[in-house]
Amino acid sequence: MTLEDFNDVVDAEETADDAAGDAGYTAPAGGNAADADAADTARAAGDPSATTESNGFERFAVEPSGEDVGIGTLSVSQGLRVSEDGDETTLRAFVTTGNRDSVRLGSYLLVPYPDDETLFCRIVGLEYAQEFHADDATEIHARRMMRQSSFEERDYKFMAALEPVAVLYEDDANGERELKRRMTDRVPKPGAVLQEATDSREIKTGLNIPEEGVFLGHLSVGGEKVRTAATPPTIDYRIADDYDSGDPLVFRHTLVAGGTGSGKTHASKNILRQYLRDERTYPMDDGRRVQPAVVQFDPQDEYAQMHDDNPELDGDFARQLDREDIAYGGIDDTIALIPTEAGTSYAGEGHRAERIGFTIPFSMTKRRPWLVAGSSLNENQYSALDTLLRRFFRQYGAKGTYERFLTFLDDPALKEELNESGRVHEATFDAVTRRVRAIPSGVFDQSATPITELDHQLVRPGGLTVIPTYHLSSSRVKELFVLAVATYLIDDKLSNTPDSDRIKETPVVLGMDEAHNFLADADTVQARKVISKFTEAAKQGRKERLGLFLITQDPQDIADSVFKQLNTKLVLNLGDDDAISSVNIPPNLQSKVPYMEKGQFVVYSPDNSEPVELIGLSTCLTRHGS
């Protein structure tokens, strides 16, 4: 760099700043003075183009009006390098005084290359550095500060550390100019002028956000929506939902994690609502396009409300949603499938959805002995249970009820026979009988339609089925119902000889609130069977069009093998350190999680986009709450 470089720069003062701020630059002592003088002269002459602040620095407009405005320039003083190894990348920018208060960590910036390409980057560090070698830890300095309670911006350099995200370039494919992105493979020029990214197309391309897909929320930085010059000024974040680039991400599974009251259910309703819009269909193996069914397990009796419109959603907001192509309003085709347990009743006052009671036929245990195993059978006892159930169902067929099974186990002749043939030891037989007797009565074979005969109610293309469990008597009973229905659905989805063609041939989003209660890792037969079933379901999900949508406040409790299959993670406010680290998201997102306000969340979906921060819609798209 030589002094001549500055000659054709109009803004002499800015240049002087930059040059002086550049520690690597050794100009002759007189050089700076000359430039500064020139600036002073310009001002003294009443240069009308220079809007001068009281501190003598020029202020640059930073309104996101889409004009070409800069916030600073790339500096080479501490190195200017892009590297394959992110740790060795050094991109630092000098931020001019007028812009210092408005730049924020996480903001997106554009740095032009001399040709048409642009480097899209993110601010990852902000610092004041010394402009002059002076000691500000002195009596005089401190006293001065204490008296005037401000300081001279010009005494300091304000530096922003940048992380390159991608190179943006125009491509002339098919006669149309298309903005594309590629990995950062070139270094921008020293002195390049930084601009805030305020163009929706550039930001979406830079962050690799799909144009189309399922709406999750609006892009934000530090809790503020990113604004552009366009209408609407916000940037919609969507999750890819077609087969153009891989599989729809819904079938690669979603996690919604957040502490109590962080807005999980509100956000989940808004997302599930999008899956239930008429236009959304997925191709099946036979070539038909079919709308997905949403089946939602509902521990707090909140989701059947999705049947109804949100009375707080007004006309203005509705028009905004229309403009942004976001589906809203109650889902007429909602059924609440009510678990029937003797001695309990479902009040379900908060909604007007249709209700159908169902029961779990004991015959379901034939293929799923773990349903009656409770939590503490060892392998030996479990295989004894299996033997007993097989024998029982051979004898009674589909008429084999829980009551009958208890009578069956009471037969001393059976116990003796199995003991003598060496198939089930007496003590094992007794242990199993005790466990089977201990399962809550009033669950199996109640006076309601068996769930196995309700497959057309359970799964309906374009319909929402909610299974409330709040009214049930104990967590064990809730677990029994949830796991029985979920595995019935999963088994049919994965089977080559399904009991229900309806289930097999409909795309299904299986939503589970408080998922940690059902999918926790534990050293029991039941947990092992359940976890391996859900892991299998998750792995086969893409092929079978089965998407898991798990909602939890304790993500650390969800079994690892299931967790690993969850591709898209939405993390709302979480306070617990274990919970935060368990969601396994990039550190820059992780550090934001404890500060998220209601409805704010980060999205980590590596096959969809760069990691981002979002603000969800503040109004629920269907009814939520009283």
SS (H, E, C) 366-406: HCCHHHHCCCCCCHHHHHHHHHHHHHHHHHHHHHCCHHHHH
Residue with Cβ nearer Mg ion (265 or 274): 265
Closest to Mg ion by CB, 409 vs 572, is 572
CB of 570 to ligand ATP, least distance (A): 11
Show the site string, 495-534: x = touches ligand ATP by CB under 6 A, - = not: ----------------------------------------
In the chain the first and final C-alpha atoms are separated, in Å, by 67
Q: Can you list the alpha helix ranges (DSSP code H) found in 293-369?
A: 315-323
218 or 238: CB nearest ligand ATP: 218
- Residue 210 interface partner, choices Mg ion, ligand ATP, none, CB cut-off 5-8 Å depending on type: none
260 binds ligand ATP (CB under 6 A): yes
Contact pattern from residue 343 through residue 382 relative to ligand ATP, giving x for each residue in contact according to CB under 6 A and a dash for the rest? ----------------------------------------
Residue 296 near residue 276 (C-beta atoms within 8 A): no
* Ranges of H-type helices in 422-474: 426-438, 455-458
Beta carbon of residue 590, minimum distance to Mg ion (angstroms, whole number)? 22
CB 459, CB 428: distance < 8 Å: no
Cα–Cα distance, 599 to 266 (Å, whole number): 8
Task: Name which of Mg ion, ligand ATP, none residue 361 binds, using a CB cut-off of 5 to 8 Å depending on partner kind.
Answer: none
Cβ proximity to Mg ion, 264 vs 435, nearer residue:
264
Nearest C-alpha neighbor of 265 from the set 528, 43, 570, 612: 570
- The residue range among 86-94, 521-529, 601-609, 618-626 that interacts with ligand ATP, by the rule CB under 6 A, is 618-626
DSSP 89-157: -B-EEEEPGGGTTT--TT-EEEEE-SSS-EEEEEEEEEEEEESSS---SSHHHHHHHHHH----GGGEE
Element at 336 (helix H, strand E): strand 334-339
Nearer to Mg ion, 264 or 545 (CB): 264
Quickly count: other Cβ atoms within 10 Å of residue 274's Cβ: 21
Q: Indicate the residue among 191 and 616 with the shorter CB distance to ligand ATP.
A: 616
Does residue 598 bind ligand ATP (CB under 6 A)?
A: yes
**All residues at 6 or more sequence positions from 519 whose CB lies less than 8 Å from its CB, including other chains:** 512, 530, 531, 534, 550, 558, 559, 562
Q: What's the one-letter identity of residue 128?
A: Y
Cβ atoms of 539 and 501 closer than 8 Å: no
Q: Which is nearer to ligand ATP, 152 or 312 (CB)?
A: 312
If contact means CB under 5 to 8 A according to the sort of partner, which of Mg ion, ligand ATP, none does residue 263 touch?
ligand ATP
Beta bridge partners of 335: 354, 465
Distance from CA of residue 49 to its chain's centroid? 47
Considering the complex, state which of residue 181 and residue 264 has its C-beta at the smaller distance from Mg ion: 264
Report how far residue 226's alpha carbon sits from residue 197's, in angstroms, rounded to the nearest whole number: 9
Q: What are phi and psi of 373, to 5 degrees?
A: -80, -15
CB of 517 to ligand ATP, least distance (A): 12
The item of Mg ion, ligand ATP, none sharing an interface with residue 624, based on CB under 5 to 8 Å by kind, is ligand ATP
From the list Mg ion, ligand ATP, none, pick the one residue 547 interacts with, judged by a Cβ distance below 5 to 8 Å according to partner type: none
Residue 542 binds to ligand ATP (criterion: CB under 6 A): no
Least distance (Å) between residue 595 CB and ligand ATP: 15
Q: CB-wise, 392 or 601, nearer to Mg ion? A: 601
Taking CB under 6 A as the binding criterion, the range among 31-39, 83-91, 256-264, 483-491 that sits at the site for ligand ATP is: 256-264
Q: Provide the sign of the torsion angle of the four alpha carbons 141, 146, 148, 152, taken in this order.
A: positive
For ligand ATP, the binding residue among 125, 283, 575, 625 (CB under 6 A) is: 625
Residues 6+ apart with CB under 8 A from 234: 218, 219, 225, 226, 227, 228
Query: Closest by alpha carbon to 59, among 107, 96, 101?
Result: 96
Beta strand segments in 252-315, E: 254-257, 282-283, 289-290, 293-298
Number of H helices, E strands in the chain: 17, 23
**Site for ligand ATP (CB under 6 A): which residue of 15, 73, 262, 506?**
262
Options 27, 616, 621, 623; binder of ligand ATP; rule CB under 6 A: 616
- Contact residue for Mg ion among 89, 96, 262, 265 (CB under 5 A): 265
Q: How far is the CB of 513 from Mg ion (least distance, A)?
A: 6
Stretch that binds ligand ATP, among 30-38, 113-121, 260-268, 532-540 (CB under 6 A): 260-268
**Shortest spacing between CB 256 and ligand ATP, in angstroms:** 9
- Binders in 263-322 for ligand ATP, by CB under 6 A: 263-266
Output the residue with the shortest Cβ distance to ligand ATP: 599
- Residue 256 vs 615, nearer CB to Mg ion: 256
Cα–Cα distance, 31 to 26 (Å, whole number): 10
CB of 551 to Mg ion, least distance (A): 7
Nearer to ligand ATP, 471 or 598 (CB): 598
Asked if 225 is part of the footprint of ligand ATP (rule: CB under 6 A), the reply reads no
**Which of 547, 480, 557 is closest to 515 using CA atoms?**
557
Among the residue ranges 141-149, 194-202, 232-240, 263-271, the one whose residues contact Mg ion (CB under 5 A): 263-271
Regarding 261 and contact with ligand ATP (CB under 6 A), the answer is yes
**Closer to ligand ATP at the Cβ: 458 or 620?**
620
- Find the length of the chain: 626
Q: Are 574 and 590 in contact (CB under 8 A)?
A: no
Among residues 239 and 531, whose Cβ is nearest to ligand ATP? 239
Q: By CB under 6 A, how many residues form the interface with ligand ATP?
A: 15
The contact set with Mg ion (CB under 5 A) reads: 264-265
The contact set with ligand ATP (CB under 6 A) reads: 258, 260-266, 553, 598-599, 616, 618, 624-625
